[in-house]
């Protein structure tokens, strides 16, 4: 009876060209496993009450309900008990439908959830110290990692709704860090959409957040874009940065500390410190800045970073993710930021053992950085394939790793 498993039940629904009743499902299982009528219909006593139930049908229904919980199958709303397989999205990916909530895998520090954060978070009372995410970009044409929205307002509402339950659970002085795409244009025009500014205003006005900073992420190795307006029409310059917004619910209590992200002094500055600082006197900007002998002689722990992140997208973890995707025969995420981005903000804005949440986790780089930095984490994504790749690609080496057997089921991605 070991052949009666999740793979079999999912395969029956997947291969059927119509809806199935439970009786039809039972008959198909019996036929495929070549179980006799007597063996299939045998009842056994269950529980302390000793009520007799059909053990085989009980197991089938358990697998059925588990597949339903992750939206692999769905029950029709008609009067009859009809079930069907939930098909993949237009990109061929296994996308969670509304209401899906399933733990994909976990470690001692965190958990990855297949489903929508707006559905799962309201039942969680854990205070959140940092929400760090890169939501799907509002491209005019849908891609695996980006959603297509009719208007900028639709996209802004989508993001605000996703952030709202997390914003409610932010600790006093907690932060929201949002990496958004800049290269969105008004339909048919070379003028850029103002959605980043409108999104920023909506987050502040609707969720009572405050803007702390705008940090450009400069990536000189970005693929040439905007292709049409820069490469074909010769109007625009090639894009070389994306914007990162940093917001908080209380600027007077914000929990950031730049001493956690100090950078090594340059060789030139180290030499300046070693010689006892400046030897000259100078004045700049009508006296706004003055230089005196001995300035910059104090040997500090490092240099405070500028509010510009200069970093290419190439990353060893990204290469590892692609290798794992190839090994599993699954499609990889098409737009991953380097782990250095979440690593920087997690160190800057949180202490060890605090909670970091990512409602649009994608390849789970936020969770990976949090795990390595000894922060607790909670990540959500609606694409099952990306969670599966991340599970063994990144997290299986960490203490307490456990993967839901359903996620390890290759038949779900067939």
On the question of pLDDT at 144 being above 60, the answer is no
E strands in 205-277? 210-218, 241-248
Residue 84: strand pairing partners: 74
Tens digits of per-residue pLDDT, 191-211?
Answer: 999 999 999 999 999 999 999
Find out whether 10 and 408 touch, Cβ atoms under 8 Å: no
- Rounded CA-CA distance 299/132 in Å is 33
Query: Residue 97's pLDDT is what?
Result: 65
Q: Which has more confidence, 74 or 230?
A: 230
The confidence band for 164, taking pLDDT boundaries of 50, 70 and 90, is very high
Half-sphere exposure of 244 (CA within 13 A, CB side): 24
Q: Which has more confidence, 108 or 414?
A: 108
- Rounded CA-CA distance 199/186 in Å is 16
The answer to which of 58-72, 210-224, 244-258 has the lowest mean pLDDT is 58-72
Domain map (residue ranges) of the chain: 6-85, 101-263+304-413
On the question of pLDDT at 146 being above 80, the answer is no
> pTM for the whole thing?
0.77
Long-range contacts at 19-27 (CB < 8 A, ≥ 24 apart): 19/76, 19/82, 19/83, 19/84, 20/82, 20/83, 20/84, 21/80, 21/81, 21/82, 21/83, 22/61, 22/64, 22/81, 22/83, 25/60, 25/64, 25/83, 26/57, 26/60
CB crowding 333-349: b at 16 or more within 10 Å, else e: beebbbbebbbbbbbbb
Are domains 6-85 and 101-263+304-413 of this chain identical in fold? no
CB crowding 54-93: b at 16 or more within 10 Å, else e: eebbeebeebbebbebbbbbbeeeeeeebbbbbeeeeeeb
Query: Residue 365's pLDDT is what?
Result: 96
For 6-85, the fitting CATH number among 1.20.120, 1.10.3470, 3.40.50, 1.10.10 is 1.10.10
The confidence band for 141, taking pLDDT boundaries of 50, 70 and 90, is low
Query: Residue 413's pLDDT is what?
Result: 56
Tens digits of per-residue pLDDT, 321-368?
Answer: 999 999 988 888 777 889 999 999 999 999 999 999 999 998 999 999
Q: Which has more confidence, 81 or 21?
A: 21
Neighbours of 217 (CB within 10 A): 20
Tens digits of per-residue pLDDT, 106-136?
Answer: 999 999 998 877 665 656 678 999 999 999 8
Tens digits of per-residue pLDDT, 253-271?
Answer: 999 999 999 988 777 767 6
* Mean pLDDT of all residues in 291-318: 82
Q: Which has more confidence, 88 or 36?
A: 36
- Rounded CA-CA distance 100/69 in Å is 6
Tens digits of per-residue pLDDT, 367-376?
Answer: 999 999 999 9
Q: Which two tokens stand for residue 12?
A: 């029956």
Residue 58: strand pairing partners: none
- Rounded CA-CA distance 143/89 in Å is 11
Query: Residue 58's pLDDT is what?
Result: 87
On the question of pLDDT at 274 being above 70, the answer is no
Query: Residue 53's pLDDT is what?
Result: 83
Residues 6+ apart with CB under 8 A from 115: 96, 99, 100, 101, 102, 380, 382
On the question of pLDDT at 48 being above 80, the answer is no
The confidence band for 151, taking pLDDT boundaries of 50, 70 and 90, is confident
Long-range contacts at 33-36 (CB < 8 A, ≥ 24 apart): 33/1, 33/3, 33/4, 33/8
Say what percent of the chain tops pLDDT 90.
47
3-state secondary structure at position 297: coil
What kind and span of H or E run contains 380?
Answer: strand 376-381
On the question of pLDDT at 281 being above 90, the answer is no
Query: Residue 16's pLDDT is what?
Result: 78
Say what percent of the chain tops pLDDT 70.
82
Query: Residue 116's pLDDT is what?
Result: 77
Distance in angstroms between the alpha carbons of the first and the last residue of the chain:
23
On the question of pLDDT at 279 being above 80, the answer is no
Query: Residue 407's pLDDT is what?
Result: 75
On the question of pLDDT at 145 being above 50, the answer is no
The class of domain 101-263+304-413 in CATH terms is: alpha beta
């Amino acid at each position: 009876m070991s052949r009666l498993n999740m793979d079999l039940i999912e395969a029956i629904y997947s291969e059927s060209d119509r809806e199935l009743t439970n009786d039809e499902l039972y008959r198909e299982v019996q036929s495929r496993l070549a179980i006799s009528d007597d063996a299939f219909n045998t009842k056994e006593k269950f529980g302390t009450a000793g009520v007799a139930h059909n053990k085989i049908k009980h197991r089938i229904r358990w697998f059925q309900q588990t597949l339903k919980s992750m939206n692999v199958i769905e029950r029709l709303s008609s009067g009859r008990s009809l079930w069907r397989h939930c098909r993949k999205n237009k990109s061929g990916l296994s996308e969670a439908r509304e209401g899906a909530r399933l733990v994909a895998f976990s470690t001692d520090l965190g958990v990855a959830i297949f489903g929508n954060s707006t559905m799962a978070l309201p039942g969680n009372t854990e205070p959140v110290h940092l929400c760090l995410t890169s939501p799907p970009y509002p491209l005019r044409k849908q891609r695996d990692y980006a959603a297509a929205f009719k208007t900028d307002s639709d996209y802004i509402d989508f993001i605000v709704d996703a952030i709202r339950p997390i914003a409610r659970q932010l600790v006093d002085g907690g932060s929201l860090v949002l990496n958004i795409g800049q290269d969105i244009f008004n339909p048919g025009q070379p003028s850029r959409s103002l959605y980043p500014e409108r999104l920023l205003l909506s987050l502040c006005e609707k969720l009572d957040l405050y803007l702390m900073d705008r940090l450009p992420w400069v990536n000189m190795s970005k693929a040439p874009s905007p292709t049409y307006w820069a490469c074909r029409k010769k109007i625009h310059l090639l894009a070389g940065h994306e914007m990162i917004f940093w917001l908080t619910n209380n600027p007077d209590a914000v929990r950031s500390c730049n001493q956690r992200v100090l950078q090594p002094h340059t060789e030139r500055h180290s030499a300046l410190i070693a010689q006892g600082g400046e030897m000259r006197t100078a004045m700049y900007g009508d006296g706004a800045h003055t230089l005196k002998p001995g300035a910059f002689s104090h040997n500090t722990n490092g240099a405070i970073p500028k509010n510009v992140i200069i970093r290419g997208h190439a990353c060893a973890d990204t290469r590892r993710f692609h290798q794992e995707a190839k090994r599993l025969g699954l499609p990889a995420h098409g737009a991953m930021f380097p782990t250095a981005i979440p690593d920087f903000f997690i160190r800057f804005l949180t202490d060890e053992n605090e909670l970091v949440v990512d409602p649009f986790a994608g390849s789970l780089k936020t969770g990976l950085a949090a795990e390595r930095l000894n922060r607790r984490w909670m990540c959500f994504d609606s694409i099952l394939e990306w969670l599966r790749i991340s599970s063994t690609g990144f997290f299986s080496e960490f203490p307490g790793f456990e993967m839901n057997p359903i996620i390890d089921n290759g038949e779900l991605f067939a």
